[in-house]
Every structure is written in C-alpha cells, then in structure tokens.
Amino acid sequence: MSISAATSHVDESKQARAKRTARAAFFGLVVDYWEIMLPVVALGPAIVYFIPTDLPAETKATLTFLTFAAAFLGRPLGSVIFGAMADRLGRQKTSAICSVGLGVSVLLVALLPGYGSIGLWGLAGVLLLRLLGGVFMGGQYTGANPLAMESAEKHRRGIVGASIASAWPVAYVIVSLVTALLVAIMPSGSPTSAYSVWGWRIPFVIGAIMAAVLFLYLRKTEESQVWTAAQRREAAERRKKQKSPLSELFRGENLRNLAQVFLLMTGIWFAIQILTVAPSGLLISYMKVPSQTVLWGLLVANVVFWPCYLIAGAASQRFGRRKTLIVLGVLSGTVSIASMIAMLQILNSGGPFWLAMVFFTISLCVSVAPNALMIPYVCERFATSVRASGYGIGYTLAVIIPGLYSFMLLGLGKFMKYEYGTVALLAIGAVCVVIGAALGPETKDVDLGATESES
C-alpha cells in the first residue's frame, strides 16, 4: 500500500469514527431530552392523576414544574460521579453504563399508581425516580459529548456541536407529536380519563426502549483516541501525583475556568427553564389554555427553533464562540424580553393564541440559541485529563439555581403578576450570559489533544 493510500485510509477511518461518535452523542441527547420533557409534555395533561383536584392553579403549576426540576437537580450529582469515571475509565464505557440506569428509572415511572390509589406517594415516586434518572442523565452526556468533540475536526466542531445540541428541539417535537396523538384519541383532563390513567405511560415506555437502543449503539462505538493517547501520556505523571480528575478540576486555572463556565451556563439554564419547561405548566395549569392547543403551539415553536441551533453553531465557527455568545446574550436581554412581554399581554387580554406563540417563538429562538454553542465551548475550556469532569460539572452544576425557578416565580408573584416573573428571570439569565461570555477567551481554535500544560 502506498503512503498516499494509507493516509487516505486513515483519514476515512477517522471521519467514520467522528460521524459515529457524533451520531451516538446526538441520539444520546435525544433520549436524554425525551426523558427530560416527559413530565411537562406527556405528564402535564395527566398531572391530575397524581395530585388532588382542588389545589390552587399556582400549586398545580409548581408541582408540574417540580416533576421536571427533579431530573435537573439530579444531573449535577451524576456529572460529578460519572464525569470522574469518564476521565478515568473512558467516555464510551461511562455513557453505556448511564444509558442502562436511565432506561430503568424511566420505565419504573411508567409503572407508578396515582393519587387515587396511594395518595401523594405516587407523586413522591415520580419525583424520586426523576431525581435518580437525572443522575444517569448527567452521566450519559458527560461521557458522550466530549467523546464526540474529541473525534470531530477542529474546523467542524461548532457545526457538529450544534447538530448534537439540536437534539433538544428534535426530541421535543417527537414527544409532543406522540403526546398530541394520544390526547387526540383518548379522553383527558380528569383523574379517571383514559389518558390520565394509562395513556401518559406510553411515552415513558418508549423512552425506556430508546435507552436500550442507545446502549446497544454505544457498545459498538469506539473510545476517544484523544482520551486514549492522553491516558498513556499522563499515566505515569498521575501515578506520581496521585490526583483524581476532580481534585485537578477544583484547583488553579481549571477552577477559574469552571467558575466562568458556571456563570455563563447559569444564564443559559434560566432561558431553558423559562422557555422550554415553564410554558406547558404555566399555560395549561395557570392561564387555562386547553392542553391540546398548548401542545401544538409549542410543537410548532420548536420546529421553527431547530434550525436556529444550526445557524448559531455556524456563526460561532465563523465569527467565534465568545462574540456569538455576547451578541445572543444582548439580544436575549432586549428582543427576547420584549417578545415575552408581548406574548403575555396578548394572552391576558384574550388575544389570538397564534399571535402570542409568534412572539414566544422569537423569544425561544433568541434566548435558548446560545445552548447550541455549549458542547464545543465547554469542552474547549478544559484539558483532556479533566475534560469530561469539567464539561459535566460546568454544564450541569449551573442548573441548580435556575432549576428552582418555580419557587422563584412564587416569590416574585408577591411583587408582580405571577406570569411576569418569567420576564424577570429571563433578564437575569441574559445578564449572566453576557458577563460570563465576556469573562472567557475565544476557544474555537483550541487543540483538544493538548495536555494541561499546553492548553
């Protein structure tokens, strides 16, 4: 075999590996986001199955939010546990283990009885299993996403990362379509209706099957060559130092990077919570919009939103991650907030729902688009030896404060209309994004194979 032929074969093998790891990361996030959105999309119309029917509207909305928040609160723990595992044992193995745990936890939710059988213990079971599932969610992408970024070519990381991150609207659209179909063919709305008793369980069972498919796919996915090379290069030094990835992460430059990523991600998580989680419970339980109307409205919004991820990723590859994040943060604090206020005013005045959703879609596309950049950006902020830990903890730990937004809305409701608390939290998020991005460097040309001393 000639040198040119051998080089061509190596390049083709590298490209095939990069595509497979990107597909694994994308499908992993589809499964992850499917599980994440189940409480607010599939369980939202059936929440009355788990709670007393005479609760105030604000309390019903808050409980709906909590079924979602439980999984997000479990993610930081998962990122700590499995991030360190991914840095020590490998990205591929860790992701495969977590996919099993995720599938089991979501399947157990589908088997739970409701309020009529065991009272609030059913809701407690949902929250506990969602928390456990969140632990495995935090571990799954902590391994899979760095694996994909380390396999991608430098000049394509922005596009590849955005494509993987676009699993969010893709998963939302699919779970919404499944739920809308089930609600259309089954009676819903009361604790004894067909959808409330058993229809909501179908999307949960589908989620468990998807997790099993992900496990089988990950078993055939190769380990990151960047990680493997770094393990060989740093094994002797690490044995001398006797330091774990976590101890390395929480010191010196790594700790400063983590703090900057934490601030940036806090802002993005506020936008994600307010514009992808809160709308279902807010519109159905509090503003009394019919559940089917809400499902279809949010579905269309996310269809429009999907290409915005790809556009944001392409912009970050052309103009830089830092500049793109700052611009999007400024737009979030202006255009997005104005659009959110317009949506709420239309709904409160009895205006057309479709027009309200136009403004909501603008806010969604502007404020959540920065998330498209975060897979490559956060991976680029950490050296190989701590990358999975840094990515998992930096990306996930920041969700804790925004994850408590339902309680924040209750508190803000003492000073303003309950629904307008979402605008205040969006504003806080926009400020965090701008400041967090401004404090960090440009990263799109970072060499992910560099050692800690070189990065």
In a domain, residue 2? The reply is: no
Q: Residue 76 pLDDT > 90, yes or no?
A: no
Answer yes or no: is pLDDT of 128 > 70. Answer: yes
Instruction: Note the pLDDT tens digit of each residue in 228-283.
Output: 776 666 555 555 555 677 788 888 999 999 999 999 999 999 999 899 877 877 78
The amino acid sitting at 112 is L
22 domain residue, yes or no = yes
Overall average pLDDT of the 154-180 stretch: 89
Higher pLDDT residue, 103 or 12? 103
Distance CA 368, CA 80 (A): 25
Q: Which structural domain, as residue segments, surrounds residue 304?
A: 15-221+243-439
Of the segments 4-8, 95-99, 295-299, 336-340, which one has the largest average pLDDT value? 336-340
Instruction: Please give the Cα distance from 143 to 68 (Å, whole number).
Output: 23
Highest averaged pLDDT of the listed ranges 57-71, 114-128, 261-275 = 261-275
| 99: in domain | yes
Asked if residues 62 and 123 have their Cβ atoms less than 8 Å apart, the reply is no
pLDDT at 5: 43
Tell me whether residue 360 is in a domain: yes
pLDDT tens string 372-404:
999 999 999 998 888 888 988 888 888 888 988
Q: Which one, of 206, 166, 422, 204, lies nearest residue 303 by Cα?
A: 166
* 3-class state of residue 242 by DSSP: coil
What is the C-alpha to C-alpha distance for residues 343 and 359, in angstroms, rounded to an integer? Answer: 6
Per-residue pLDDT tens over the stretch 309-318: 999 999 999 9
Q: Which of 119-133, 179-193, 257-271 has the highest mean pLDDT?
A: 257-271
b/e code 95-110 from CB counts within 10 Å (16+ = b): bbbbbbbbbbbbbbbb
Residues near 127 by beta carbon (within 8 Å), at least 6 away in sequence? 66, 67, 70
Among 3-17, 48-62, 74-88, 352-366, the minimum mean pLDDT is found in 3-17
Distances (CA, A) of 298 to 162, 231, 254, 339, 399: 21, 45, 39, 15, 22
For residue 81, pLDDT over 60 is answered with yes
How far apart CA 111 and CA 113 sit, in angstroms, is: 7
User: Do 199 and 188 meet the contact criterion of CB atoms below 8 Å apart?
Assistant: yes
Residue 236 domain flag: no
Q: Read off the pLDDT of each residue in 418-447 and give the average, rounded to a whole number.
A: 94
The two three-digit tokens of residue 103, written as one number: 């599938």
- Residue 7 has a pLDDT of 43
**Residue 289 backbone zone (phi > 0: left; psi -120 to 50: alpha; other: beta):** beta
Q: Is residue 9 over pLDDT 50?
A: no
| Residue 237 confidence (pLDDT) | 57
Please provide the distance, in angstroms rounded to a whole number, between the alpha carbons at the two ends of the chain.
36
Question: Chain-centre distance of CA 193, in angstroms?
Answer: 31
Quick one: average pLDDT of 27-46? Answer: 82
pLDDT band at 47 (very low <50, low <70, confident <90, very high): confident
Mean pLDDT calculated for residue range 86-107 = 87
Q: Which two tokens stand for residue 393?
A: 């903890």
Whether 167 maps to a domain, the answer reads yes
Closest CA to 281 of 90, 446, 69: 69
When the pLDDT of each residue in the chain is averaged and rounded to a whole number, the result is: 85
Between the CA of residue 194 and those of 45, 185, 190, 200, what are the distances in Å? Answer: 11, 10, 9, 9
Half-sphere exposure of 161 (CA within 13 A, CB side): 29
Share of the chain above pLDDT 90, in %: 37
Neighbours of 419 (CB within 10 A): 21
The CATH number assigned to the domain holding 297 equals 1.20.1250.20
Mean pLDDT value across residues 48-72: 76
Look at residue 115 in the predicted model and tell me its pLDDT.
Answer: 83
> Region 104-129: what's the mean pLDDT?
89
What's the structural domain count of the chain? Answer: 1
Average pLDDT over residues 41-58: 78
